[in-house]
Structure 1
Amino acid sequence: MSIPMESLFLYLPIFLALYQNRKGPVVLLQFGSRKVLLVSSPSAAEECFTKNDIIFANRPRLLIGKQLGYNYTSLAWAPYGDHWRNLRRIATLEILSAARLQTMFNELTMNVMMTDDRWTKTLVEFLLTLQETDPEYYKDEIIKGLMMVLLIAGTDTTTNTMEWTFSLLLNHPEILKKAQTEIDNRVGHGRLLDETDLVHLPFLRNIINESLRMYPVAPLLVPHESSDDCKVGGFHVPRGTMLMVNMWAIQNDPKIWVDPRKFKPERFEGVEAARDGFRSMPFGSGRRGCPGEGLALRMIGLTLGSLIQCFEWERPSKEIIDMREGIGFTMPKAQPLIAKCHPRPTMLKLLSQTLNQVK
């Protein structure tokens, strides 16, 4: 039976984790005519993304890269080289830099308060400015490809992470209450939480990190491909081998994590960002790691923090929220989250003022 390569990412992470429990953390498979290196340990992942990072900086030429990657010219699917480096530079320095993110959050606040739509034009205007300066390079296809990557990589992934996180919180109301108390102590009830507060909310950050560990929205990282022969875990890896990193297996491995299926945000105390060495890499690593990590963590933190600050949340019944994984590239929940909420009495005045300003 022939299985399309793209279909593998829909249902393989858990199966491969079970397979590698018997075969080991470094396995070389043969998918039709394509060799595939499957790794599911921090040490093997570190070897791929440090010593062999340049070798594994390529992308395999899969059908999805041709269809959604504008014939392999987009940031996500372009081969490693000058074109990819230029797109990465634009994304990292011009679109997702700290200064640009701060501008974005200022615009976002203005949009919420004044229903101003000037943010929605900023990014497109910037890219069209580049097209004016160099029309031969910044063709419509390049601009559309960059926009497509930002939309695909930043919509379902962020939405799914927030849904998984809220589901975990509703199943653990004591943790939800602790997060609410942290926000009350830091922000109070006289203003809405803003982006500058996030650095002072470590427990909220730990909650997000733990959710990303348990339910990574990219359970199999976007595949890489070796541009030369190399060694991983002492094994010879031929040139042209597709690399698949099973992050679900690494981040839920009982040999690596104590009680991995238990929701314990405190395990990330003192850990920088969402990483814990190579034990947790929800955004990938190395040259092809996700450049939108900073934006994603800020957006998730700001949205979740605001909802926790302003509303009381509870399950619609005494039944525990269904935490089964669905099928999809970004691992959605099998059953969409349904929750009950009502404004917190201490926030009613501020919420009323905000609504009046919007009107």
Structure 2
Amino acid sequence: MSHYHAASPRYEPASMEFLVTAVGLLLFYALVRVTLTVLGIGKPKNLPPGPTPLPIIGNLHLLGDQPHQSLAKLAKIHGPIMFLKLGRTSALVISSAAAAKEVLQKQDLAFSSRHIPDAVTAHNQFLYSVVWLPVSTQWRTLRRILNTHIFSNNSLDANQHLRRQKVEKLVAYCRKACQTEEPVNISRAAFRTTLNLLSNTLFSKDLTDPDEDSGKEFKELVGNIMVEAGKPNLVDFFPVLKKIDPQGIRRRMTHYFGNALEIFEALIEKRLVISESKQDDLLDVCLKINLENPDEINRTHIKSLFLDLFVAGTDTTSNSLEWAMAELLCNPHIMTKAKKELEEVVGKAKIIEESDIQRLPYLQCIVKETLRIHPPVPFLIPRKTKTKVKLNGYIVPKGTQVLVNVWAIGRDSTLWNDALNFVPERFLTSGLDVRGRDFELIPFGAGRRICPGLPLAVRMLHVMLGSLLNSFNWNLDSGLGHHEFDMNEKFGITLQKDNPLCVVPSVIN
């Protein structure tokens, strides 16, 4: 695919005339809307409560650079079911476990459509993606393939040797850092590990070999896609700007998606040529289904499925591991307790097996507490009402974007004692889990659109975190004490640590 380069914009007199006309029309439209609002004409009745919107921008000015935090504060004023206008987009923000249960379980079907960001219209990804497709025959087919052939317990058990190999490489990388006394960027190391794990599950090969340019390119591709997807996009708030794409987000996504899809196409072609290949990976499974029933899944669906898995499964896992390590470094007594459990159950300085997880209750508590206070996707993937919906006595208009603020729910002081502090012990006797049944803790969502990769993510988090804790002692870089440690958040499609965690490992004696 040829690279797409945007020409530099030039403002000719005709362009300026268009701009003045457009601004004039917008101001006139705003004046009409304000007049109608004052007169009470055309306003839907019985909307959920929310802040009063300004002309044109609505409530956009209230979001700031940390929308999950801003909307959590607004919910304390307006309630857990809150209605906003974000530019020309209507939005419903859910900020309590009870309201989340209503939306994601009791009325799941009514809220099961997706709000489509403009960025994922690049290469029509939203038309083929299991993430963005509406609940339909095609969506069910793709979900069935994922649930049966990659995320079922049987499939995961059969592939656990792959995960062990990747964790062994991660530990070896950290051991090399011990010898040179260099800090390890936890998120970057975990990202590479997760990316290679996924590529082996899908294609039976690594795609991020640091000695090969193609591997570096693919790692950068996935990273660039995550960066663009996480940027606020004016087009999502003002659809009239779609043709202009003022920030160039869709243009860059078209380039990145195109490169990734080309890589997948080459892998498919190579596999088809080697007809005797029996890798028993997801690529083989998809090609077999395509051969037997081309209408069920075609090559475009296969490539979009792979793109979904890489985008959804890398940043989320690596960020969660980074937050867990950061919290443990801030709370040395918790790290000591975790290392003691690992030593007693697994043995000192050993990589843990997935079969060990059930025998490590305190490690499980640490993972749950990390996901409670640092959910990977703070608003989950946005949903949308396909029709007008009645919710707790309110009317939610058709086409409303639905944001479930799991970050706010995880820090709700009415649900959690000592809500803002990292206290893994709270889960030792609570019985709460992250699998979508307990709405106080839904980092992977719930209902029919729950993240299908949950079983793999949970295994990977425990094995990577447990192995790193059990194999090394960890110290902050630059001699920082745990009281000085920066725990600021960087908002995007995933919730990242603002300053990457770089820690220095040392061998356990």
**TM-score when normalising by structure 2:** 0.63
Answer whether contact 2:351 2:466 (CA < 8 A) is retained: no
Answer whether contact 1:52 1:230 (CA < 8 A) is retained: no
Q: Is 1:337 equivalent to 2:507 in the alignment?
A: no
SS across alignment from 2:85: strand
Structure 1 residues 87 and 164: CA distance shift in structure 2, 3 A: same
Cα deviation, 1:96-139, whole Å, max 9, x if unaligned, reads: 10011111212333566799996542222222222222334422
Among candidates 306, 322, 338, match of residue 467 of structure 2:
306
Among candidates 439, 445, 449, match of residue 278 of structure 1:
439
Among candidates 319, 336, 342, match of residue 481 of structure 2:
319
Q: Is 1:195 equivalent to 2:354 in the alignment?
A: yes
Residue identity matched to 1:215: H
Q: Is 1:233 equivalent to 2:392 in the alignment?
A: yes
Cα-Cα RMSD: 2.5
Q: Is 1:184 equivalent to 2:343 in the alignment?
A: yes
Aligned counterparts of 1:194 and 1:135: Cα–Cα separation in 2: 39
Structure 1 residues 218 and 168: CA distance shift in structure 2, 3 A: same
**Displacement of 1:237 after TM fit?**
1.6
Q: Is 1:169 equivalent to 2:328 in the alignment?
A: yes
Aligned counterparts of 1:58 and 1:20: Cα–Cα separation in 2: 24
Identity among equivalent pairs (%): 34
Answer whether contact 2:386 2:399 (CA < 8 A) is retained: yes
SS across alignment from 1:313: strand
Answer whether contact 2:378 2:405 (CA < 8 A) is retained: yes
**Displacement of 1:221 after TM fit?**
1.2
Query: In the alignment, which residue of structure 2 is the partner of 1:348?
Result: none
Residue identity matched to 2:438: G
Which ranges of 4 or more aligned residues in structure 1 deviate by more than 6 Å? 111-118
Which segments of 5 or more consecutive residues in structure 2 lack a partner in the other structure? 1-55, 170-195, 205-280
**Displacement of 1:46 after TM fit?**
0.5
Cα deviation, 1:162-214, whole Å, max 9, x if unaligned, reads: 00000000111111111111111111148531110001111001001101111
Query: In the alignment, which residue of structure 1 is the partner of 2:449?
Result: 288
SS across alignment from 2:92: strand
Aligned counterparts of 1:215 and 1:344: Cα–Cα separation in 2: 29
Query: In the alignment, which residue of structure 1 is the partner of 2:297?
Result: 138
Answer whether contact 2:323 2:374 (CA < 8 A) is retained: yes
Query: Which protein is bigger by CA-based radius of gyration?
Result: 2
Aligned counterparts of 2:406 and 2:89: Cα–Cα separation in 1: 21
Residue identity matched to 1:273: D
Answer whether contact 1:247 1:281 (CA < 8 A) is retained: yes
Structure 1 residues 39 and 307: CA distance shift in structure 2, 3 A: same
Answer whether contact 1:315 1:339 (CA < 8 A) is retained: yes
Query: In the alignment, which residue of structure 2 is the partner of 1:244?
Result: 403
Residue identity matched to 2:501: L
Query: In the alignment, which residue of structure 2 is the partner of 1:70?
Result: 125
Answer whether contact 2:98 2:439 (CA < 8 A) is retained: yes
Residue identity matched to 1:196: S
Aligned counterparts of 1:323 and 1:125: Cα–Cα separation in 2: 43
Aligned counterparts of 2:488 and 2:404: Cα–Cα separation in 1: 22
Structure 1 residues 319 and 37: CA distance shift in structure 2, 3 A: same
SS across alignment from 1:50: helix
**Displacement of 1:288 after TM fit?**
0.5
Among candidates 234, 257, 262, match of residue 416 of structure 2:
257
Cα deviation, 1:258-301, whole Å, max 9, x if unaligned, reads: 22110100111232432672111100111111111111010010
SS across alignment from 2:493: coil
Q: Is 1:18 equivalent to 2:73 in the alignment?
A: yes
Structure 1 residues 59 and 257: CA distance shift in structure 2, 3 A: same
Query: In the alignment, which residue of structure 2 is the partner of 1:38?
Result: 93
The answer to which of 24-33 and 50-59 deviates more is 24-33
Structure 1 residues 64 and 11: CA distance shift in structure 2, 3 A: farther
The answer to which of 319-328 and 102-111 deviates more is 102-111
Residue identity matched to 2:120: G
Which segments of 5 or more consecutive residues in structure 1 lack a partner in the other structure? 346-359
Cα deviation, 1:286-334, whole Å, max 9, x if unaligned, reads: 1111111111010010001011111111223243321000132111111
Aligned counterparts of 2:493 and 2:344: Cα–Cα separation in 1: 38
Aligned counterparts of 2:64 and 2:299: Cα–Cα separation in 1: 30
Aligned counterparts of 2:96 and 2:136: Cα–Cα separation in 1: 28
Aligned counterparts of 2:123 and 2:100: Cα–Cα separation in 1: 27
Aligned counterparts of 1:143 and 1:9: Cα–Cα separation in 2: 38
Answer whether contact 2:476 2:503 (CA < 8 A) is retained: yes
**Displacement of 1:66 after TM fit?**
1.7
Aligned length: 342
Aligned counterparts of 1:69 and 1:175: Cα–Cα separation in 2: 47
**Displacement of 1:151 after TM fit?**
0.7
Aligned counterparts of 1:305 and 1:111: Cα–Cα separation in 2: 14
Structure 1 residues 68 and 267: CA distance shift in structure 2, 3 A: farther
Structure 1 residues 307 and 9: CA distance shift in structure 2, 3 A: farther
